[in-house]
């Protein structure tokens, strides 16, 4: 362990010697762009994906720093964004249930906590959120007269003022004014969830980037059977990665054309992993391991960081790059600071998603992933209107019914109960298949990680589960937005199941 820490510190010292992202003079303040992508794991060629090529994200990595062990503190959209925009764990601010605080039940941020765009605004930055493209909105739909002024994806689980954003694009700022822009891209959501959506997306892919991923080249995680529908879906997911890369290239080209690229810090990352049975909404690598690439002024090309970082660190490093003081309340760290010390552990949390009540927490250290299931008597694929509406989940349930999943998939996806604790060897068990929590050889590590989580829960004031009264308010509010009668019926039935 000591040798590893020495190696890490040497690597960090090398990279930090190449960064000059310290308090810049006001006249030299960089523009800051976050490129935030939905539902996508690190399936880019710079991260080792071989079935496709992603030249534009690869370019960012070649010209900047690539993090190999960046993790989302939450594996679902609204809670991820609530944490990102505050630089705080969603469990600390009480914004950890997806979705919440939109209707009768309101959530406010702790006293003194401000969203990151507001901090940029107060420092003189023009703040915007959109697609970064002049012809498409953040869902990759062509602009209409009605949608042209629409903001990009916010999805925050707390009360906030739209005035924290000046616009949906940087083009209308004052001459010379620095800007903070969130480029929101639809990412893995582009592939859709049904056969009809798949067909439409295939046509879009052909028009934009040509033929690419072949289902015959796809390598699925070992707990998913090599079924035609699942293979074709994964191939389409990889096509969504190619389309995302294409749009990243268009944003870069626009910055170059407008003479802005050299003075713009670009932070590229995704909100969580692929939307799949063990991905989005869960705390395995498939759900929380994300790409993180940073490129910009004074960032030396070709750095690779292998230390543990969290997505809330993006808030702190971005403020510091702009010469803005990082608030004391912010839990994210400026991971580009010269005095930054590598983290010994990072944390993540999954809570209610829609009507599906759960509470899961995880700790990642250098060599282990520890997961605690607070509701172990529930199955992994518990009832969920959102999950069960997807073709891939329906197909997995069909295969389960006909014993076509295989032993590994049956155990990990369809067991009727879960282990209260899970412990995985990170380096030997890439897909987190072999739970060694019950192996006496690893008792000391199990206890150590258990204590790390208990300490984190206490120190960060983890808000935990909702009361039944709040649950009813939240799900009844969400029910109003479900238009399909069949989905409404399923959703209501699921609510009653969880309340029992």
Specify the pLDDT at position 300.
83
SS (H, E, C) the chain: CHHHHHHHHHHHHHHHCCCCCCCCCHHHCCEEEEEEECCCCCCCHHHCCCCCCCHHHHHHHHHCEEEEEEECCCCCHHHHHHHHCCCCCHHHHCCCCECCCCCCCCCCCCCCCCCHHHHHHHCCCEEEEECCCCCECCCCCECCCCCCCCCCCCCCCCCCCHHHCCECCHHHCCCCCCEEEEEEECHHHHHCCCHHHHHHHHHHHHHHCCCCCCHHHCCCCCCCCCCHHHHHHHHHHHHHHHHHHHHHHHHHHHHHHCCCHHHEEEEEEECCCCCCCCCCCCCCHHHHEEEEEEECCCCCCCEEECCCEECCHHHHHHHHHCCCCCCCCCCCCCCCCCCCCCCCCEEEEECCECCECCCEEEEECCCEEEEEECCCCCCCCCCCHHHHCCHHHHHHHHHHHCCCCCHHHHHHHHCCCCCCEEEEECCCCCCCCCCCCCCHHHHHHHHHHHHHHHHHHHHCCCCCCCCHHHHHHHHHHHHCCCCCHHHHHHHHHHHHHHHC
pLDDT: is 274 or 216 the higher one? 274
Considering the chain, what is the average pLDDT of its residues? 94
Would you place residue 10 in the very low, low, confident or very high pLDDT band (cuts 50, 70, 90)?
Answer: low
Average pLDDT over residues 80-87: 99
DSSP β-bridge partners for residue 425 = 368
**Omega of the bond leading into 120 within 30 degrees of 0 (cis):** no
Mean pLDDT on 462-486: 96
User: How far apart are the C-alpha atoms of 221 and 256, rounded to whole Å?
Assistant: 39
Give the number of other CB atoms < 10 A from CB of residue 70.
25
pLDDT at residue 13, rounded to an integer: 54
**Residue 164 burial (CB count, 10 A):** 18
With 90 as the cut, is the pLDDT of residue 259 above it?
Answer: yes
C-alpha distance across the termini of the chain, in Å: 47
- For residue range 413-451, what is the model confidence (pLDDT) as tens digits? 999 999 999 999 999 999 999 999 999 999 999 999 999
Instruction: Give the model's confidence band at 142: pLDDT under 50 very low, under 70 low, under 90 confident, else very high.
Output: confident
> For residue 187, which of 138, 220, 231 has the smallest C-alpha distance?
138
Residue with tokens 């679902």: 76
Predicted local confidence at residue 149, as pLDDT:
76
Cα dihedral 194→195→197→200 (10° resolution)? 180
**Per-residue model confidence (pLDDT) at position 144:** 80
Give pLDDT, residue 245. 98
Going by C-alpha positions, the residue among 296, 273, 297, 295 that lies closest to residue 286 is 273
pLDDT per residue as tens digits for the range 297-336: 988 899 999 999 999 999 999 999 999 999 999 999 999 9
Is 340:12 a contact under the CB 8 Å cutoff? yes
Q: Which pTM was predicted? A: 0.95
pLDDT of res. 9: 54
Query: Which of the four pLDDT bands, split at 50, 70 and 90, describes residue 27?
Result: very low
pLDDT over 90 for what percent of the chain? 88
> Rounded to whole angstroms, how far apart are CA atoms 123 and 286?
37
User: Rg (Cα) of the chain, in Å, rounded?
Assistant: 22
Report the pLDDT value the prediction gives residue 279, as an integer from 0 to 100.
98
Cα-Cα-Cα-Cα dihedral sign, residues 106, 111, 116, 122: positive
Helix axes 391-401, 228-257, angle to 10 degrees: 160
pLDDT exceeds cutoff 90 at 212: no
Contacts of 290 (CB under 8 A, 6+ apart): 40, 41, 42, 70, 71, 72, 269, 270, 271, 272, 273, 311
Q: Which residues of 189-215 are buried (b: 16+ CB within 10 A; e: fewer)?
A: bbbbbeeeebeebbeebeeeeeebbeb
pLDDT tens digits for 361-402?
999 999 999 999 999 999 999 999 999 999 999 999 999 999
| pLDDT exceeds cutoff 60 at 11 | no
Which domains does the chain show, CATH number per domain?
Answer: 2-344 (3.40.720.10)
148-169 pLDDT, tens digit each: 778 999 999 999 999 999 999 9
Task: Output the pLDDT for position 31.
Answer: 99
Angle between helices 228-257 and 195-208 (to 10 degrees): 40
């Amino acid at each position: 362990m000591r040798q590893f820490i020495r190696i890490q510190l040497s690597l960090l010292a090398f990279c930090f010697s190449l960064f000059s992202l310290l308090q810049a003079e006001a006249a030299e303040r960089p523009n800051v762009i976050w490129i935030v992508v939905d539902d996508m794991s690190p399936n880019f060629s710079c991260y080792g994906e071989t079935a496709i090529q992603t030249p534009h994200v690869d370019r960012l990595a070649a010209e900047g720093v690539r993090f190999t062990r960046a993790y989302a503190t939450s594996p679902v959209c609204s809670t991820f964004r609530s944490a990102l925009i505050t630089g705080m764990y969603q469990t600390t601010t009480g914004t950890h249930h997806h979705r919440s605080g939109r209707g009768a039940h309101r959530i406010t941020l702790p006293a003194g906590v401000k969203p990151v765009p507001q901090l940029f605004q107060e420092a003189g930055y023009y703040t915007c959120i959109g697609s970064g493209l002049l012809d498409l909105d953040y869902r990759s739909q062509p602009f209409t007269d009605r949608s042209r002024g629409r903001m990009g994806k916010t999805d925050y689980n707390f009360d906030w003022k739209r005035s924290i954003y000046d616009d949906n694009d940087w083009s209308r700022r004052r001459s010379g004014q620095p800007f903070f822009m969130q480029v929101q891209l639809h990412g893995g959501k582009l592939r859709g969830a049904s056969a009809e959506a798949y067909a439409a997306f295939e046509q879009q892919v052909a028009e934009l980037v040509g033929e690419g991923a072949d289902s015959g080249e796809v390598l699925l995680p070992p707990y998913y059977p090599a079924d035609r529908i699942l293979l074709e879906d994964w191939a389409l997911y990889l096509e969504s990665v190619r389309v995302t890369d294409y749009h990243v290239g268009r944003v870069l080209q626009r910055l170059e054309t407008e003479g802005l690229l050299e003075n713009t810090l670009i932070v590229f990352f995704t909100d969580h992993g692929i939307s799949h049975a063990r991905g989005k909404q869960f705390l395995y690598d498939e759900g929380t391991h994300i790409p993180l690439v940073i490129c910009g002024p004074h960032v030396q090309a070709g750095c690779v960081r292998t230390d543990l970082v969290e997505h809330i660190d993006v808030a702190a490093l971005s403020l510091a790059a702009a010469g803005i003081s990082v608030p004391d309340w912010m839990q994210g760290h400026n991971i580009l600071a010269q005095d930054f010390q590598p983290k010994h552990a990072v944390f993540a949390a999954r809570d209610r998603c829609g009507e599906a009540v759960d509470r899961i927490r995880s700790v990642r250290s250098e060599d282990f992933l520890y997961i605690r299931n607070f509701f172990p008597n529930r199955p992994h694929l518990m009832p969920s209107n959102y999950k069960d509406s997807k073709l891939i989940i329906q197909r997995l349930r069909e295969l389960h019914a006909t014993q076509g999943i295989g032993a590994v998939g049956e155990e990990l996806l369809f067991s009727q109960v879960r282990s209260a604790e899970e412990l995985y060897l990170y380096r030997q068990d890439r897909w987190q298949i072999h739970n060694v929590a019950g192996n006496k050889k690893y008792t000391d590590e199990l206890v150590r990680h258990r204590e790390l989580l208990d300490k984190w829960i206490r120190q960060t004031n983890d808000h935990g589960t909702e009361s039944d009264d709040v649950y009813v308010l939240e799900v009844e509010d969400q029910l109003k937005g479900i238009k399909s009668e069949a989905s409404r019926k399923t959703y209501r039935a699921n609510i009653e199941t969880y309340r029992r």
